[in-house]
Each structure stands twice: as C-alpha cells, then as structure tokens.
Amino acid sequence: MFKIIGSLLLFALSSFHFATASELIIENVTVISSHLDKPQENQFVRVVDGRISAVSDKEISPVSSDALKIDGKGKYLTYGLMDSHVHVNSVPGIGFIKSDKAKQYPQLISAYLHQQPKSFLYYGVTQVLNLGANDGEKIFTKGEIHPEYFSCKPIPIVGGYPDLDAKHTLTHSDFFIVEPGITKSIPASKSHSEQTPEKVVARIAETGAPCIKLYFENGFSDASDWPMLLDETVAKIRTEATKHGLQLVAHANAIDMYHHALANDVDIFAHGLWNWNWPKDKGAPPVADTLDRLMAGNVGYMPTIHVMQALKDMFADKLVSDKERKLVLPKSLLTWFETDEGQWFRNELKGDFPPDMQEAQIYEMFNYGFKRALQSTKYLADHDYPMILASDFPSSPSFAAAPGLSTYHELLNMHDAGVSLKAILDAATVNGPIQFEIATDYGTVERGKIANMLLLNSDPLINIQAWQDIETIIIRGNVVSRDSLTVR
Ligand SMILES: [Zn+2]
C-alpha cells in the first residue's frame, strides 16, 4: 500500500511536521521551470534520495514500498527560491548578534534565531547565500529543517566600511586587510604578516566558499571620508580570486563606487544603483552609461530594492503586511518593537534630519532612494538583462524587515520596477545558482537536481502573488507543510 498524501490530508495531520520518504512522486502537476519555454501540464516528477530522478508526461509507478505520492492536479511545481544576499547573523530591529545591543536581549535573539530558517522556508526560500560574517551559521543550519546555506567571505579593510569604529567585527575573522595609514589596531591574536591579499584569499578558498565580498563604500549618501582598499590591493585580490576560482562580489550602490568596482573587474554587484549623487559641475548623473558598462561587462546585478523599502517603511503611517509579519517573527520581538527601546534605530535615523522635519517628509526622503532603485532595475529589465533575487535581508536594524517576507517583498518590488514574470522566475530560481556555479545541483525542475521545490496553488507566470500562494515546500525531498513553519 502506497501512502497517498493529498493536499487536504497533509494539512489535516496536525502534528505533522515533515514527511520523509526515500521516494516521492508528484502526479499530474504543471511544471514551471526556467529551462522550459512554457509551463508543462500533466507532468509526473519522481524524487529519489533527495534528488529529482525523473520528470515525465507519462505516469510514473513507485519502485519502493514506502513511496510518498502527492496529487499535483491544479497545482504548479517550481524550483525553490534562492535569496543570494542575506545576513543570518543580524536581527530585524536589533542588528548584529555580536553587537552590544544584541547582548542586552539574549532571549529575543534566541527566539528569533530558532525561527529564522523556518520563516525563510515558509516563503519558499530553499537556498540562501550569506554575504557577510558567518557567526549566525551554526544556529541557522542546526535545526531539523532549514534552507541550504552558502556563504561568501568578506574582506573588509580595517577601519573602513563595515568595520569602522566597531570593536568586535574582526575579532572572530581571519579575513581582513590593513592598509598603510590606518591607526586602528587589530586583535592581538592576529598577525600582520598573515593578512596579505595572497594569504587571505588562499584561506578563503580553503573554506570552500564560492565567492569573496569587497566593499566599495566611502560613505553613505553625500559622505566620502571612510578609508577604502587601495587599488593595488584590490588588483591583487582580483588576481588571487581568479586563480582560486572565486567570484568577486562588490558591495556598491553609488555611481562613483560602481565605476571603481567596474574598473577593478568585479563579477557581481551586491546592490542596485540607487545613490545617484554626482558633482553638479559634471552634468547629469551617468546612470544609463554606468548600467550600460555593467551590461557590456556581463556583470551580475542584485537589485536589493528592499533595502530602501525597509528604511522608508519605518516612517510609514502603517507597516505593510502586519498580518504576515506575525507568522514569521516571534511574538516577543514584535512586542519589543512597540517599546521606546525597540524604536532605537528609527529614532537614530530621525536624529539625522532637522528636528522640525515631519515624518511624512522623512518617508519621502527614503522613498526617493527607493524609486531610484526601481528605476535602475527598470533600465536593466527594459534591456532584458538577467538579474538575481537578493533581498539583503535584514540590510539594516530596521524593524520593518522580516525573514522570508522581505524576500517576497523583493519579488514584488522587482515586479513593480517592470521586470517580467518570466524574468522574475529566472532571477528567483536559476540565476543565483548560475552566477555562483552551483547550477548543476540547483535551480531547475530537471532530472539530477537536488529536490528543493515549491508546490504553488496559482501560476507565478500569470500572477506575482503566486509566490506566496505556496501549498507545500519540498526541501531535499522532504515534504514540509507550510503551516508547520510559522511562529508557534
Ligand atoms: Zn548585505
């Protein structure tokens, strides 16, 4: 007797968390995958030991006696989402888990970190790429189910962004560069002779990371006084990265910083181009020209429009999607957001503006950056340039970010910018794996790929909201009911 798990039964089993079987068959489903010209109806998909072993328009009979069957009639099967820019060591509303702020709230942090992987899965995110320090990695990957985890290793310059005046960021890192003239000391346990570009890149290659992140950031908005890596250092890192087969990811979001990164032959931008500050005597900001150069160089693009959304939303009359946030953020954290202390980051930002400035005006200031992020994305979309889904969650200590939900909002933002539903499917499923060279295992519903898939109730090529109309999440062949992933 084969186990037939229809959708109703799946949700009727209240204690059901996830079902594991060595063999899984999804029947009569419409397959939507980037490698296909159009949706394929009435397909049968077999998964064996966590990998897709067959996709066919003919009925597939189970081989093993404990095979699990899912009726896919009227449903859509896609590959799972990859969010290629997240920070699993940072908590919305609080910030990095090693910060002094975080140390005051160990219970809030613990409740959040245990929920975080489930919240990503709840929104169909089955792969994440961590683009910062990896101190949250252990907890993220410890639970019984979690998205698959990849990480890039950043090489900050000591005293520059994002190290700046922080005491702790480099204590636990082996990867940083000290440039001449920097007076900030490095931890006593570290030796200067070990921090050369050659040695740092070689150590990163040993970790198995697919990429290195460099910061092209001399200050936010109009500021420009933070130290940066010297050109000769970046050139050395570029050479060593190529030698070791590592991709160079550039943190940059301003025109001049984009130029700097492009001149250094980076492989991908970790942020959209939203800072259009440009000297008045040099005419209009060369946004199109900069993006043309990016396209000509075949450089990857992560729009990360959500960064600006998370900032402006803190000053909105009402937070968008309060109902959804309750499903993915612990109640204790949501309650804390309501307190004065929980508003610290919002108040800190407010302090940067004149005291008589209305909140609606502050909202508009951030909305300005948000619109520019949309415009840059639209320019690339108009040129059919492929992009990569990346929320940069939680890009700041904004209480308006939420795991998984922020990724979904990024999809909505890309749609609002004018990216087609097919291009969004590509950006969300396969473009990340292609960029980071893991596409032999991930990204499409094809034989041989790791079985990370979503069963949707509606068609994501017709409606962007289909991406939150998820019935079932399949991670490494394990079938997870969506309801079991919410905050308990
Ligand atoms: Zn980031």
Measured in angstroms, how far is the CA atom of residue 84 from the centroid of ligand 1? 10
Structure tokens at 379: 């320019």
Q: State which residues form the domain around 70.
A: 3-79+444-485
pLDDT, mean of residues 235-254? 96
Residue 51 lies in a domain: yes
State in Å: Cα 389 to ligand 1 middle.
Answer: 13
CB-CB contact of 198 with 240 (8 Å): yes
Mean of all residue pLDDT scores within the chain: 91
Across the beta sheet with 125-130, the strand order is 81-86, 125-130, 148-151
**Is 325 a member of any domain?**
no
How much distance in Å is there from the Cα of 87 to the middle of ligand 1? 6
* Cα 246 to ligand 1 centre (Å): 19
Whole-number Å distance between alpha carbons of 487 and 60: 37
Q: What whole-number distance in Å separates Cα of residue 29 and Cα of residue 480?
A: 17
Same domain for 449 and 307: no
Q: How far is the CA of 310 from the centre of ligand 1 (A)?
A: 13
Distance from the CA of 49 to the center of ligand 1, in angstroms? 34
Whether residues 288 and 354 fall in one domain = yes
Ligand 1 centroid from CA 394, angstroms: 8
Output the CA 424–ligand 1 centroid distance in Å.
20
- The per-residue pLDDT for 18 is 64
Query: Which amino acid is residue 402, in one-letter code?
Result: A
Given a cut of 50, is residue 176 above it in pLDDT? yes
Same domain? For 73 and 113 the reply is no
Which of 13, 147, 143 minimizes the C-alpha distance to 68? 13
Is the pLDDT at 10 greater than 50, yes or no?
A: no
| Percent share of the chain, pLDDT over 70 | 94
Average pLDDT over residues 351-379: 94
Judge if 42 and 139 occupy the same domain.
no
In a domain, 381, yes or no: yes
- HSE-CB for 127 with a 13 A CA cutoff: 29
**pLDDT of residue 318 exceeding 90:** no
Together in a domain, 427 and 370: yes
Average pLDDT of the segment spanning 58-75: 94
Half-sphere exposure of 432 toward its Cβ, with a 13 Å CA cutoff? 33
Least confidently predicted of 182-191, 303-312, 384-393: 182-191
Q: What is the CATH number of the domain that holds 472?
A: 2.30.40.10
Question: Residue 284 belongs to a domain with what CATH number?
Answer: 3.20.20.140
Residues 6 or more apart in contact with residue 235 via CB below 8 angstroms: 264
Tell me what the mean pLDDT of segment 213-231 comes to: 87
Asked whether residue 469 is assigned to any structural domain, the reply reads: yes
Q: Assess whether 293 and 419 both reside in one domain.
A: yes
Average pLDDT over residues 137-142: 93
| Same-domain pairing of 419 and 271 | yes
**For range 435-444, the mean pLDDT:** 97
455 and 429 in a common domain: no
Distance 163 CA to ligand 1 centre (A): 13
Burial string for 133-146 (b: 16+ CB within 10 Å, else e) reads bbbbeebbeeeebb
Q: Per-residue pLDDT tens for 19-66?
A: 777 899 999 999 999 999 999 999 999 999 999 999 999 999 998 888
**pLDDT confidence of 340, banded at 50, 70, 90?**
very high
Q: Are 170 and 186 in contact (CB under 8 A)?
A: yes
Reported confidence tier of residue 321, pLDDT bands at 50, 70, 90: low
Instruction: Decide if 407 contacts 120 (C-beta within 8 A).
Output: yes
Per-residue pLDDT band for 160 (boundaries 50, 70, 90) equals confident
CA 178 – CA 183 distance, rounded (Å)? 9
* C-alpha 132 to ligand 1 mean position (Å): 7
User: From the CA of 126, how far away is ligand 1's center (Å)?
Assistant: 19
Residues 430 and 371 in one domain: yes
**Ligand 1 geometric centre to CA of 468 (Å):** 23
Query: How close is the Cα of 215 to the center of ligand 1, in Å?
Result: 10
272 domain-assigned: yes
pLDDT at 189: 75
Residue 367: pLDDT over 60 = yes
SS3 159: coil
Least confident of 341-345, 351-355, 477-481: 351-355
Instruction: Say yes or no: 12 and 140 in one domain.
Output: no
Q: How far is the CA of 292 from the centre of ligand 1 (A)?
A: 24
Please say if the pLDDT value at position 13 is more than 80.
no
At CB < 8 A and 24+ separation, what contacts does 244-247 make?
A: 244/201, 244/202, 244/204, 244/205, 245/205, 246/201, 246/204, 246/205, 246/209, 246/210, 246/211, 246/212, 247/152, 247/210, 247/211, 247/212, 247/435, 247/436, 247/437
Distance 59 CA to ligand 1 centre (A): 45
Cα 55 to averaged position of ligand 1 atoms, centre (Å): 36
Mean pLDDT, rounded, for 427-450: 97
Q: Is it the case that residue 9 has pLDDT exceeding 50?
A: no
Same domain, 379 and 480: no
pLDDT at residue 329 in the model: 97
Residue 12 confidence (pLDDT): 35
13 and 138 share one domain: no
3-state DSSP call for residue 248?
strand
Residue 422 has pLDDT above 90, yes or no: yes
Residue 88 has which token pair?
A: 């699993």
User: Domain ends where: 435, 460, 477?
Assistant: 435
Higher pLDDT, 400 or 133: 400
What pLDDT is stored for residue 2 in this prediction? 36
> What pLDDT does 153 receive?
92
Q: Of 397, 418, 435, which residue sits at a domain end?
A: 435
Residue 354 lies in a domain: yes
- Residue 324 domain-assigned (yes or no): no
Assess whether pLDDT exceeds 50 at residue 347: yes
Residue 472 lies in a domain: yes
What's the pLDDT score for residue 298? 97
Alpha carbon of 331 to ligand 1 centroid (Å)? 25
* 382 CA distance to ligand 1 middle (Å): 26
Q: What percent of the chain has pLDDT over 90?
A: 78
Q: Is 481 exposed, middle or buried (0-12, 13-18, 19+ CB in 10 A)?
A: buried
pLDDT of residue 21: 73
Question: What's the gap in Å between 396 CA and the centre of ligand 1?
Answer: 8
* Residue 14: pLDDT band with limits 50, 70, 90: very low
Domain count, the chain: 2
Vertex 85: Cα angle to 79 and 90 (nearest 5): 120
* Interval between CA 24 and ligand 1 midpoint (Å): 36
